[in-house]
Amino acid sequence: MKLYSQKDVDKKALKGATICVLGYGSQGRAHALNLKDSGFHVVIGVRKGDSWKKAKKDGLPVAEPAQAVVGADLVAMLAPDLAQKQLYQDVIGNLKKGATLLFAHGFNVHFKQIKPRKDLDVVLIAPKGPGDLVRRQYQQGRGVPCLIAVAQDASKKAFDKALGYAHGIGGTRGGVLETTFGEETETDLFGEQAVLCGGATELVVKGFETLVEAGYQPEVAYFECMHELKLIVDLLHEGGIWKMHKFISETAKYGDLTRGPRVVNKKTKAEMKKILKEIQQGKFARQWIRENATGRKKYDKMLKTDLNRQIEKVGFNLRSRMPWLDQGRG
């Protein structure tokens, strides 16, 4: 394993480059502003609307996507995953020969939704954190670690260009780890589904429901299962399991070691393996693409149900008394 840092950057690789960022959501805005602050000429490609207005307000030149890519040396595809296929088709005719096409997630290349032109360098820079964190860390002189990959190296300089981009958004401060489009895509999807989003939220909700169904106050259940989660996550993020054990009580440690494996057990791991297999075989991708193609009815229904849980209502009322928790992200 090699972790690339600032000293590994070839600053000539993107010297004088024009970078077009397609999309101005969480990642798009963070990348664009960081690149601008790093001295790059950045153009935003979005359709007229809220994102257009936001980019203008941030002092960035904006154009419709097909126009924004004209003359760009590097085009960063930072629109939502399932908008990228059509977006690529809309702009490909205006991408100059030998340009670099960059992704922050390998989904569309790995699952062959986008088949890039042969003359293009195709690279990946995937920050391991949400856009608002990428921006905040950069402004603090820090950086969110990134993954780097090359799917197509037409110029024989694709890696250097990608690393230069990572440097521009602050990634080389935290370290840049080499991977492949496939590894990044499959591990990212697995982490989201089984641990970070799906796994964590279901664990919190089931714990909350268990306490409430046993007759405990919903507010107390919320504090125990949701509110205090940040304390543990911060400790794990800062120093791993070791730091968590250092700062929690002996009673908590004993409960962790003896009860934790009963909750997340061999059956849980077996289900995780099934989820990973579905990702590797493309089953999840096909299902998600089909859901979008048919109007997202099931998705919208599930999301509405998820946000209508009792824990959400209780949490909303409690958090309204703690306005400092809302840092105005985005």
Domain residue ranges of the chain, discontinuous segments joined by +: 3-179, 189-325
Q: Strand, helix or coil at 130? A: coil
151: region left, alpha or beta (phi > 0 left; psi from -120 to 50 alpha):
alpha
For tokens 């760009």, the residue is 72
CA-based nearest residue to 286, from 114, 116, 115, 111 = 111
pLDDT per residue as tens digits for the range 280-324: 999 999 999 999 999 999 999 999 999 999 999 999 999 999 988
Please give the structure tokens belonging to residue 175: 């370290």
pLDDT per residue as tens digits for the range 111-146: 999 999 999 999 999 999 999 999 999 999 999 999
pLDDT at 1: 80
pLDDT at 41: 97
Mean pLDDT of all residues in 89-98: 97
User: Exactly one of 31, 105, 110, 167 is catalytic; which is it?
Assistant: 105
Residues 250, 160: contact at Cβ < 8 Å? Answer: no
pLDDT per residue as tens digits for the range 53-93: 999 999 999 999 999 999 999 999 999 999 999 999 999 99
pLDDT at 2: 84
Overall pTM surpassing 0.85 (yes/no): yes
Contacts made by residues 133-139, CB under 8 angstroms, sequence distance 24+: 134/27, 134/30, 134/31, 134/34, 134/169, 134/170, 135/29, 135/30, 135/33, 135/34, 137/170, 137/173, 137/174, 138/30, 138/34, 138/37, 138/169, 138/170
**In this model, does residue 209 exceed pLDDT 50?**
yes
Q: How far is CA 285 from CA 242, 269, 288, in A?
A: 36, 21, 5
CA angle centred on 183, ends 77 and 302, rounded to 5°: 70
How much is the mean pLDDT over the chain? 96
CATH number among 3.40.710.10, 3.40.50.1390, 1.10.357.10, 3.40.50.720, domain 3-179: 3.40.50.720
pLDDT cut 90: percent of the chain above it: 97
Please give the structure tokens belonging to residue 38: 């790093």
Band of the pLDDT at 327, cuts 50, 70, 90? low
Q: What is the rounded distance in angstroms from the CA atom of residue 159 to the CA atom of residue 168?
A: 14
Q: Which residue has the higher pLDDT, 1 or 241?
A: 241
pLDDT per residue as tens digits for the range 26-47: 999 999 999 999 999 999 999 9
pLDDT at 330: 45
Query: Which helix H or strand E contains 4, and what residues bound it?
Result: strand 3-4
Residue 31 designated active-site = no
pLDDT at 62: 98
**In this model, does residue 328 exceed pLDDT 60?**
no
Band of the pLDDT at 325, cuts 50, 70, 90? confident
pLDDT per residue as tens digits for the range 140-186: 999 999 999 999 999 999 999 999 999 999 999 999 999 999 999 99
292: region left, alpha or beta (phi > 0 left; psi from -120 to 50 alpha):
alpha
